[in-house]
Amino acid sequence: MAERTEVVFVDGVRTPFGRAGEKGMYWDTRADDLVVKAITALMERNPNVPGDRIDDVAIAATTQAGDQGLTLGRTAALLAGLPVSVPGFAIDRMCAGAMTSVTTMGAAIGFGAYDLAIAGGVEHMGRHPMGAGVDPNPRFLSERLVSEDALNMGATAERIHDRFPEYTKERSDRFALRSQQKVAAAYAAGKIQPDLVSVATRSDAGWGLATRDEAPRPETTLEGLAALRTPFRPHGRITAGNASGLNDGATACLLASGATAKELGLSVKMKLVSFAFAGVEPEVMGLGPVPSTEKALRKAGLSITDIGLFELNEAFAVQVISFLDHFGIDDDDPRVNEYGGAIAIGHPLASSGVRLMNQLAAQFADHPEVRYGVTAMCIGLGQGGTVIWENPHFNKKAAKR
Amino acid sequence: MTDNTTATGGTDYTAVDFSPLVELFGDEVVTHSLVRDIPLSDGRTLALLTLDNGRDHTRPNTLGPLTLLELSTALDDLNARAGRGEIHGVAVTGKPFILAAGADLSKVTEIPSRHVGKLLAQLGHHALGKLGTLGVPSFVFINGLALGGGLEIALNADYRTVDATVPAIALPEVFLGLIPGWGGSYLLPNLVGIENALKVIVENPLKNNRTLTGADALDLGIADTMFRSVSFLEDSIRWADGVLAGTITVNRPQLPGKIERLVKWDAAIGIARKTLQNRIGTIATSPYAALDLVKAAKSGTRDEGFTREDDALADLISGDQLPASIYAFNLVQKRAKRPAGAPDKALARPITKVGVIGAGLMASQFALLFVRRLKVPVVITDLDQARVDKGVAYIHGEIATLQAKGRINPDEANRLRALVTGTTDKADFSDADWVIEAVFEELGVKQDVFAEIEKHISPTAILATNTSSLLVEQIGAKLSHPERLVGFHFFNPVAVMPLIEVVNTPATDEATLSTAMVIAEKLKKNAVITRDTPGFVVNRVLAKLLGEAMHAVDTGTPFEVVNGALAPFGLPMTPFELLELVGLKVGAHVLDTHHSAFPDRFFDSTNLHKLAEHGKILERNSKGQVTGFDKGALKIVAGGSAPMTAEQILRRVEDGLADEIKRMLDDDVVHAPEDIDLCMLLGAGWPFQMGGVTPYLDRVGASERVFGGTFHTPMVRGVGADVPADRSALH
């Protein structure tokens, strides 16, 4: 097999994530504008990148209609002022949309077809509520291909609790609380802000500027979490507190071949090691990251013990717990979601993958003792996605200390 | 009423009672002042004030009394917050695509007194002026359309950013008979220098109301910096943050210095005044009022400048020219877009191919216009192949010129060229849906041309004639389907003049008339429907004026006296310049036609025929500027024995026009005086300050003298002119 081209993560940004719905800060902001602003800021932060050298723009959205339709990657590139010669396309793998944008572009670079690419995603869940306009094939139910619960993400999370009775609601709530606390601490330490792109937001009260995520609730307490209702079942375990919310936001990142990054003098924040996607029963879609991570580790020739940092998408606390439990990692292991996760920050479906990568990249810079990190997430209808990254700042001496 | 004067020579606006103004504008669409705090670096806060009337972009933000009072209150609050250290800067921006389209002028013609008119100026200063005295730096982010008072909001602030895609930034006041009266006349020259200010305040409004782009505003020094649209507000906020933090310093190379004030200022005003006099004469008051204000802005305080603007605006609002200008503006903006008496558009026939009979200059211009606007095949024909080839070559040449100027791209040029063909075979007209003739202006010729073409075209194809002096119905006398014939009278130059008189004969059917109106709109022209009477509207009115002018000359009145007599109209050119423009032969022909139609009211002129033979009336320098009257022309017209005075001529022309226009309306040539005025504004370039013509005739008493009434009730005029009426120029 020929030598593979090195693929690097140059830089990534995102908009602050908003709460979906009429009261959310992006209610009057278009979805495509969100991702366009992310791309614009990304290009501005990397002035050494000539626009006409971008080989492709992959932008994901789960609901590809209205302001998330019309071949988003192409329209967003045009709206962001990239040269007309730059092509673009749209991607959908539900929650792992942006992650799939990255792996697709990364694969194209790895193959040698591309030198530079933009990958990202957007989801305006206020303008495009989950499941709006879908028309599932009746065979799914008539032939019992999936259970009714498979299309309701909250219900799939309840099923993980069913399957593993030792994952109690209280354990989920504790995990959720720590997520809120870690996000608050990361904000206080200025860890999150550097990769945020301010967005002017219009509302009935005039123009504002979104500079921070809207969803975090630093005031959260265990008691408060315990008192929340369980909307997916009476006396269930899943609440608004231990799950990610409904959010609006967009992400974009710049990928390059190692040679191109060197040629243009670009920063190298992470190196792509391997990636994998895998399927599980749709009814317990939250378990998806387990097989996808095993597969990605196997492809990379690594074991779970080689991984020094984890950025796991917190679709549901229980779903992250299942991953940690499987790999024998503590719920409060400091390597996991150092800046907190989607339970606090939010999860605008197809945009979240790049948020994980931004955070892992920032942590890599802080942790030269870590060589490998993982970004992983579960995906609706029973999938998981995992990308393994290598830390370019890795330092053997630091590792020994 | 005595003003409260401040220590800086200005007016204490806090002591002014604005309630009469508020009452007048009872149903104002209020543009709200919405304030939100924006976090900046180092814990600073920017108060961002959004101007938003809650409507979409089709109803731009405007600034009426309630809007200004709300803004004033909001700025007072921000001033107090700045004093408490809660905010460190204030920025104003607009709703999407629009900052503000200027003062709400919807009630300006109902202002009951000079005093209330002055309040409108004072309230603007009262509110907008606060942007200069907040105690913290003020910014305006020009995110979209900024006209008049909208731009003055920005000028009153300390710093300005502009969106690179703003379509129009302007101070169009002078175009409307106003002056920039909310600080613009003082602030702009003191920001961008005298020459740039004159360009924006005086020159551009008189160049068909030309506007600036964002890049222009940056070049002129109106904006300090420009950002692209995609992240305009974010970038502007970041820039303001930098200014407040001291990391960005603003350079203003255009800022007028001492030398500019000492040497350049008055000289530039002098040049501008002379240019203005040459271009538009001295009748229109607002450009000169603006010049005076800009001149005075050279020295003195801001507050003094504001007080001068108050007085100038009060004079104009209570004068006669502003109401006439607003009336005219509404005609060309609104009535022109919804032509009176136009049939249902649904009746119009689709036009998929155009035939042009004739390949001369006029015909070629038609063909070019039709192909550019309709983008359908256009076939031209003439008597022989040589003429046809020449016509096609001319059109191809014009297309090449458009391409060279970058007005159309090569693909579009190819498309247009391929659509234009020439033929001598009338059979090539068989699939044309619209056939227009531009052949020699002689009844028999036009009749035969149409009768001939009718053999080749479908029974529903529409026939249009560009006749200016013949009756359309007679042109169709030999047609088997006269119901498909319509008059379609362009004005020269065809590409420039916005008017088409659509002549509705007794035989013309609704589908034909509707098609003509729809085609006119597609050609981007304004159409007015007239009855089939001699000269229709524009030529009949002009024939009256020119006939009287030549009559005065024929009776021995010197050319200069005639020109001086008509000066109070403030027309774009003298009668003799107009005659030379249309061509002396054509002019003589127009007078003859009207004389034969109405021998007792219209003069013909033997002298004009002689002048036409001679070739000119005016003496011109090498640049084509008029320097006097041609000696040969003077010789031709010498010998009249009963010269008239200027007063006599003016009276004859005013009364003659009032009489003729009254007859035209009584005869239903058009339905309303508004349509006469619209025709004169668009077809002859008659000035806004006259309101076209009928408001002028009312206000000088001609209507009353001639038919004991007025064209308009109430008259279109000011409430109490402090300035003498338009006659002042005569004495």
Residue-wise pLDDT for B152-178, tens only, equals: 999 999 999 999 999 999 999 999 999
Tell me the C-alpha distance between A236 and A217, whole Å.
Answer: 22
Tokens read off for B28: 């104002």
Q: How sure is the predictor about B731, in pLDDT bands with cuts at 50, 70 and 90?
A: very low
Q: What DSSP designation does B496 have? A: T
Q: How confident is the model at residue B725 (pLDDT cuts 50, 70, 90)?
A: very low
pLDDT tens track for B368-406: 999 999 999 999 999 999 999 999 999 999 999 999 999
Catalytic residue among A124, A367, A378, A393: A378
Taking only the tens place, the pLDDT of each residue in B543-600 is 999 999 999 999 999 999 999 999 999 998 999 999 999 999 999 999 999 999 999 9
Question: Does A205 sit within 8 Å of B237, measured CB to CB?
Answer: no
In the predicted model, what is the mean pLDDT of residues B497-503?
97
- Cβ(B233)–Cβ(B93) below 8 Å: yes
Per-residue pLDDT at A355: 98
Say what the pLDDT of residue B159 is. 98
* Distances, alpha carbon B455 to alpha carbons B243, B381, B385, B427, B428, in Å: 76, 15, 21, 9, 12
- The rounded percent of chain B whose pLDDT value lies above 70 is 98
Question: What number is the average pLDDT over the span B7-17?
Answer: 87
The alpha carbon of residue B40 is apart from the nearest alpha carbon of chain A, in Å, by 10
pLDDT tens by residue, B689-704: 999 999 999 999 999 9
How does residue B1 score in pLDDT terms, banded at 50, 70 and 90? Answer: very low
CATH topology of domain B13-241+256-318: 2-enoyl-CoA Hydratase; Chain A, domain 1 (3.90.226)
Distance from CA of A31 to the nearest CA of B (A): 14
Q: Is A347 a catalytic residue?
A: yes
Rounded mean pLDDT, B348-361: 95
| Helix, strand, coil percentages, rounded to 5, for chain B | 50, 15, 35
Report the relative pairing of strands B89-94 and B45-52 from DSSP bridges: parallel
pLDDT, residue B4, reads: 66
Residue B311 pLDDT > 70: yes
Tell me the mean pLDDT in the region B343-369: 95
Amino acid at B480: S
Structure tokens given for B483: 């119901």
Q: Which helix (H) or strand (E) holds B541?
A: helix B538-554
CATH of B546-642, one of 1.10.1040.50, 2.60.40.1080, 3.40.50.2300, 3.10.20.740: 1.10.1040.50
Q: Is A206 on the interface with B (CB under 8 A)?
A: yes
Task: Report the alpha-carbon distance of residue B145 to residue B101 in Å, rounded.
Answer: 6
Residue of A95, A124, A128, A367 marked catalytic: A95
What's the mean pLDDT in B193-220? 97
Tell me which of B231, B236, B237, B241 to substitute to probe the interface with A (most A C-beta atoms closer than 10 Å): B231
Q: Is the pLDDT of residue A180 over 50?
A: yes
CA distances B650 to B551, B552, B644, B653, Å, are 13, 10, 10, 5
CB contact under 8 A, A207 and B36: yes
pLDDT at B729 over 80: no
Instruction: With beta carbons under 8 A apart, name residues in chain A contacting B237.
Output: 198, 200, 209
From residue B373, alpha-carbon distances to A244, B120, B378, B450, B486 in Å are 56, 43, 11, 24, 20
Tell me the per-residue pLDDT of B625-661, one tens digit each, with 9 for 90 and over.
Answer: 899 999 999 999 998 899 999 999 999 999 999 999 9
Cα separation, B105 vs B110, in Å, equals 10
**Confidence label for B9 from pLDDT (cuts 50, 70 and 90):** confident
pLDDT surpassing 90 at residue A3? no
Confidence check: pLDDT of B524 > 80 = yes
Predicted confidence (pLDDT) at residue B346 exceeds the cutoff of 80: yes
SS3 B34: strand
Mean pLDDT (chain B, rounded): 95
Q: Would you kindly state where each structural domain of chain B is located, as residue ranges?
A: 13-241+256-318, 345-531, 546-642
CA distance B450 to B462: 11
Work out the percent of chain B whose per-residue pLDDT is above 90.
92
How many Å apart are CA B592 and CA A165, to the nearest integer? 107
Q: How confident is the model at residue B218 (pLDDT cuts 50, 70, 90)?
A: very high
CA distance B450 to B464: 9
Chain B residues with CB-CB distance to A211 below 8 A: 39
**Could you tell me the two tokens for B594?**
């009207």
A161, A347, A367, A393: the catalytic one is A347
Q: Which residue of B has its CA nearest to A207?
A: B50
Residue A91 CA to residue A99 CA, distance in Å, equals: 10
For residues B243-271, give the mean pLDDT.
96
pLDDT tens per residue, range B36-74: 999 999 999 999 999 999 999 999 999 999 999 999 999
CATH fold for the domain made of B345-531 = Rossmann fold (3.40.50)
pLDDT greater than 60 at residue B728: no
Query: In the block, which residue shows the tokens 């640049």?
Result: B623
Output DSSP code: residue A239.
-
Virtual torsion, Cα B671, B673, B676, B680, nearest 10 deg: -160
Is the per-residue pLDDT at A368 higher than 60? yes
Mean local confidence (pLDDT), B514-528: 98
pLDDT number for residue B730: 37
Q: Is A95 assigned a catalytic role? A: yes
